[in-house]
Amino acid sequence: MSDMYKEVLVSRKTPVTNKLIKGVLILLTVLGILAGMIFFPLFLVGIAAGVASYFIIPKLEVEYEYLYVNGDLDIDAIYSKQKRKRLVSYTVEELELLAPANSHALDFYKNNKESKVRDFTSGDENKPAYILVMNKDKGRELVKLELDQDILADIRRLAPRKVSQV
């Protein structure tokens, strides 16, 4: 019996909208405080924008960590390389299908409106992505990941009929 332990870190590209949100919040904070020196109620706007910046800006930069241990996959989000949060946990027993993101084996699941889609990739189209179709208690989930070959090989070893190559 061989044990498999693997960690994969995926940095999500920061979208332009997130950069724009960050810039607007910083600008509102600075302008509100500077204008507050002349007209006090604008100082409160600057303080409110500063508080909003404190809570929102760290969540704009995200990395995903996949932790795979003997058929169990845990996905964590790491915000601004400081705070970690466990997002989901999956097991191979919940797996219905694993296939490349562009596979025709996924057509039925992609066209089904009841399936919940979750994307934990970097957003880079050049990196190979895979979709796991998971049966959870709350319904079916389509989970998009950037898995490495070691994890794919181990899932194929544990559930060969649930893994599609094409």
> What pLDDT, on a 0 to 100 scale, did the predictor assign at position 165?
78
- What global pTM score does this model have? 0.82
- Is the confidence at residue 62, as pLDDT, over 90? yes
Which carries the bigger pLDDT value, residue 38 or residue 65? Answer: 65
Which carries the bigger pLDDT value, residue 165 or residue 87? Answer: 87
Three-class secondary structure assignment of 43-93: HHHHHHHHHHHHHHHHHHCEEEEEEEECCEEEEEEEECCCEEEEEEEEEHH
Confidence of residue 2 (pLDDT cuts 50, 70, 90): low
Question: DSSP per residue over 141-159, as a string?
Answer: EEEEE---HHHHHHHHHH-
Confidence of residue 166 (pLDDT cuts 50, 70, 90): confident
The C-alpha atoms of residue 116 and residue 142 are separated, in whole angstroms, by 6
Residue 125 CB-density burial (10 A; 0-12 exposed, 13-18 middle, 19+ buried): exposed
Which residues lie below 8 Å from residue 133, measured CB to CB, with a gap of 6+? 95, 96, 97, 98, 106, 109, 115, 140, 141, 142, 143
pLDDT digits (tens, 9 = 90+) for 73-120: 999 999 988 899 999 999 999 999 999 998 888 888 888 778 888 999
pLDDT digits (tens, 9 = 90+) for 4-40: 899 999 999 888 999 999 999 999 999 999 988 888 8
- Is the confidence at residue 1, as pLDDT, over 80? no
> What pLDDT, on a 0 to 100 scale, did the predictor assign at position 43?
87
pLDDT digits (tens, 9 = 90+) for 116-162: 889 999 988 889 999 999 988 888 889 999 999 999 999 999 988 98
Residue 75 CB-density burial (10 A; 0-12 exposed, 13-18 middle, 19+ buried): buried
- Is the confidence at residue 46, as pLDDT, over 80? yes
> What pLDDT, on a 0 to 100 scale, did the predictor assign at position 3?
81
